Each structure stands twice: as structure tokens, then as C-alpha cells.
Chains A and B, each alone.
Chain A
Amino acid sequence: MEYLYGIIIIVGLYVILATSFNLIIGYGGLVSIAHPVFFALGAYTSAVLARDLAVPILLAMLAGMLVAVVASIALALPSLRVSGDYLLIASIGFQLGLLEVIKNLRFTGGAGGYVNIPPFLIREFGRESYVLLVLVVMVAVVLLVRWIARSDYGRAMSAMRDDELAFASLGRDAMWMKITIFALGSGFAGLAGALYAHYFRFIVPEQFEILQSAAILTMVVVGGLRTTWGPIVGALLLQALPQALTFLQLPPSILGPIQGLLFTGLVLVFMFVRPQGLVPAGDIWRGAGSGQLAAKRDR
């Protein structure tokens, strides 16, 4: 049972990661690969605060989310000011650099990882309660992103992604919007990280490296950009795949690289063969009160 709970929690957390990354790269059109680093920031912040500074875990988790938000703004502010492409470059540097820092600091446990993270809820209410918590957060994040995408804000995101200069020519501030999207998406990744830390109770820098970026990107692209179900389907599929691979009983030294190749291969195949992903978004923005629906109502 414990094994099953672990899988449910992992899948739930990846749905949060993929959904929030979909907000950034799909709806926002912001190209970044640093999503795992905000996952890491949330995990490490919450873990360190709760274990070494005896901060109540719930507060520590929220602080983890907040640190991810602040860090994402610090990253986005200078890079988005220049041009969208710089965010990609800056995000790579940020991910490599920060993980290197974590590996070399004493209070983060270094490359060996951070151990004995205090558990949350499990001792008092059992593992089921934590599964429930993760699922509730997952559903909340999915619904919130869906709500945003279909609101007036979603319409503006669509316009901004289509043509930033034209968006500005209507008096709209694209810069502010991009930072908001990036900060919100990264904050969700931070929350996922905090939730990870207090269940599995052990985190290590290498689990947030570039392979993780590839995994999350693959989930969104294969599942379907700019859809509610795409990242969910993608996360389920891409989590099932490595589980299936373990049955091949390959040595761990080649299992990692094979996964990496598989992720990259899947992204390439989908880019060429089915760019819309498994769950197609269609080519028109569909808001709750979109022009199409409203026009039908009027008739």
C-alpha cells in the first residue's frame, strides 16, 4: 500500500508541475526550462526551515512556495526586460548555478542530499491523509489554471502570446503579465517541492537537474499545450513509462540516460507528427464568455 501511495503522490505532484509549466510555456508562451529548480527551491526551503529552524511545517511549506515566487521574479525581471529568448538562457544558467550552490553548501546537505526532513500529517493521521492533501492541492491547481486560462486574463494571455507589440499597442503591459504568469507557475512548482519534501523526507540536488526539465517539458508537449487535460495525461503517461522501464531490469547507470533519450525522442516525435499533443487545444482561444459562445447566445 505504501508503494501505491508513493506513486499516487508522485503522479499528483507531477500533475502540479506539468500544469504549472503549461501555464508558463503553453498559455504564457514563456520559454524556460528551469521549472525543476523552483521545485527544488520549494523543497529545500521548506525542509531546512522545518528541520533546522523548527518552523511549523505548514508555514515552512508556504515559505517554500514564496521563495520560489521571489526567485522566479528575480530571474524574470532582468531577462524579460531584454527579450523573451533571454529567459531561456537565463533559466539554464539559473538551474545549473543554483544546483551547484546547493551541492556545495553545508546547510543544504551538499551533494549527498538533505535527510531527516520532518514528516507532515503522516504520524498523526496516516499516509492516506497526505495522499488526500496532495490530491486536493493538485485539483485546486488544475482548476485554478483552467479558470485563469478561460477568464479575461486568459484572453489577454492569448493576445500577448500571439503578438506582444500589438498587445502593447492596446495599452496593455506585457512585461507585468509575463512576470505574473512566471511567478505564479513557479510558485506552484515550489509548493509541489515542499509537498514532496515532507513525504519522502529526503531530497538530493541531482533529482532537480536537466533530466527533470526534459521530463516536465515532455509531459506538457506530449499531453497537449494549452489544455487542462494535456498535462494530466502527460504526467500519468510519463510517470508510467519509467516504472515500466524498471521491469527491463537494466543497470541504473544506463537507465537514466535511456529515460533522457526517451523524453527527448518523444518531444521530437510529437513536435513533428502531432504538435498539438495527445489532447489538442484547437486553434482558437475558448474562454468562458468567448466571442463564439457569446455570439451563439445572442442568436
Chain B
Amino acid sequence: MTGVLEIRDLNKSFDGIVVARAIDLTLEAGRVVGLIGPNGAGKTSLFNLISGVVPPDSGTVTLSGAPLDRLKFHERIRCGLSRTWQHTRLFPSLSVLDNLLIGTHDYPGERLVEALFARSGLRSHDTSARDKAKDILGRMGLERVASGLVSDLPYGQQKLVGVARALMGDAKCLLLDEPMAGVEGQSYAAMQRVVREVADRGVAVCVVEHNVAFVRDLCDEGVFMFAGELMARGSVDELIADPRLTELYFGT
């Protein structure tokens, strides 16, 4: 197994409160790692540190051997990192399909001259991006709502759209922040299936999730985080069975 994302000795504290202490973590291609821990353990902060939303105090992050440390958030995404958000953060004034179309890496939209004058190039980009978006939506069972306003969807489907949007960039490493919170029924099964498919195509996946059943069914292994430190790594069942971790989790 090759390490896609490598985190070495990552540290961060806010006014003395440690959110990451000497974190070493490797995410491998094709494997889904569940990041488990109680609220406030620093799981989302770790995602923010990896993606560059928040700068670390020290430590390094490399993606496929390339250091990300000097890059800004959006530049890291362009290197092949992708992430979702706990609270979806979709674009409410856009349709579901348009939400996805922004997510392709060769989207010409943010450079004005290119977007306006490279018409012929745009058309082919447009068609392939649309096909790709429809394919992803199809796999999530969302093809029928593609043209609807994203804010009209039930919350579970919005979470799916958030993941679908993150998949548009063909990332090498995918960070999912609580993808199952508020997701039920058909969306639950679709989410599980899609994340597994993504991993099977060779993407390194890390999931922050409180839904134990989901983590157990989906993840190849788990990492337990507490107070900014990675305490243990192993199979999800092992972690659940460890009385020391259970105590930390429930605070008994």
C-alpha cells in the first residue's frame, strides 16, 4: 500500500488549547479510515489543518509525495485533495447540477477572459463536465433532482450533493466530515455505496463520523482521537471493544 496523504508531527493550539498534538497519520490508496472520537477531540480541526483552512503551528502534510505546507486552501484542492463540510455548505442560489459543475478542476469560470472568450474549448469542457456530474448524481440516486434548487432538497439529499460535489475534482484523497449526520433511509445506503466505490477506485478516504454502524460497515480501519492526539489505530471493532477508549469517548 502506498501512502497518498502523509501527516508528520502536526501541531496546533488556539490560545493554549491544543487541537492537534504531534499527529502522525498516513492515508493509503483504496482504504477508508474512520476518524473517531468525542466532540471537541479535534477531528474537524485536523481536516482544517490538512486542507489548509487553518495553518498549523508546526508539522508537514504531503500529498503523493508533494508537500502542501506552503499552499493555500484552494491550491491544495487543486493538488488532488477534496473535502466536505459538516453542515453541507452548498451554494443555495444554484441548482444541484450547477453546484457540481463548479467542482471540476478545469472549470474555466473564475478566470474572466478564459470564461468569456475560449468558447470552443468551453463547449467540450461543458459537455464532459455535465456528463460526469450526471453520472455521479445517478450513482447517488439524485438524477431526478439535478435541475432543482439545492436548498429545496431534504437535508439527507443535501449531504449527498455535498459529497457528489467533492467528487467532481477527481481527488486522490477525500476527507468526509460527518457525511451521515442527518442522513437516513435511501440516502444512507447511497452514501455508503458511493464512498466504497470511490475508495475502490484508489482514492484514500478519511471519514469523521459518529454513526458507529456506518463506520463499522464502511471503514477498513479506525483511528481514535482525543484532545488533539491520536490515541489508537486498528480495526473498528478493536477500537470499540477497547474499554479505555470507551471511557474516553463517554467520559465516564
Q: Do A and B bind each other?
A: yes
Which residues does A use to contact B, with CB under 8 Å? 147-148, 151-153, 155-156, 158-163, 165-174, 176-177, 180, 184, 283-285, 287, 289-292, 294-296
Beta-carbon contact of A284 and B93 below 8 Å: yes
Contacting residue for A171 out of B77, B94, B111, CB 8 A: B77
The segment from B99-107, B212-220, B241-249 that touches chain A is B99-107
Count how many chain B residues have C-beta atoms less than 8 Å from C-beta atoms of the other chain.
44
Q: What is the CA–CA distance of A167 and B92 in the complex, to the nearest angstrom?
A: 12
Q: What is the CA–CA distance of A95 and B103 in the complex, to the nearest angstrom?
A: 38
What 6 A-B pairs come out closest when comparing CB atoms? A295-B147, A156-B109, A291-B97, A291-B95, A171-B77, A153-B115
Beta-carbon contact of A284 and B115 below 8 Å: no
| Main secondary structure on A side of the interface with B | helix
Q: How far is the CB of B151 from chain A (nearest CB, A)?
A: 8
Q: What is the CA–CA distance of A185 and B110 in the complex, to the nearest angstrom?
A: 16
**Number of CB contacts from chain A to chain B under 8 A:** 130
Beta-carbon contact of B97 and A295 below 8 Å: yes
Q: What is the CA–CA distance of A283 and B92 in the complex, to the nearest angstrom?
A: 9
Interface hits, B26-82 → A, CB 8 Å:
51, 53, 72-75, 77-78, 82
Which residues does B use to contact A, with CB under 8 Å? 51, 53, 72-75, 77-78, 82-83, 85, 89-99, 101-103, 105, 107-112, 115-116, 122, 126, 130, 146-147, 149, 165-166, 168-169
Q: What is the CA–CA distance of A177 and B110 in the complex, to the nearest angstrom?
A: 6
Q: What is the CA–CA distance of A284 and B149 in the complex, to the nearest angstrom?
A: 7
What A residues does B116 contact at CB under 8 A?
A: 147-148, 151, 153
Beta-carbon contact of A170 and B98 below 8 Å: no
Beta-carbon contact of B98 and A291 below 8 Å: yes
Q: What is the CA–CA distance of A172 and B94 in the complex, to the nearest angstrom?
A: 16
Q: What is the CA–CA distance of A142 and B234 in the complex, to the nearest angstrom?
A: 61
Beta-carbon contact of A169 and B77 below 8 Å: yes
What B residues does A289 contact at CB under 8 A?
A: 126
Do A283 and B149 contact each other (CB < 8 Å), given the known contacts A170-B169, A290-B95?
A: yes
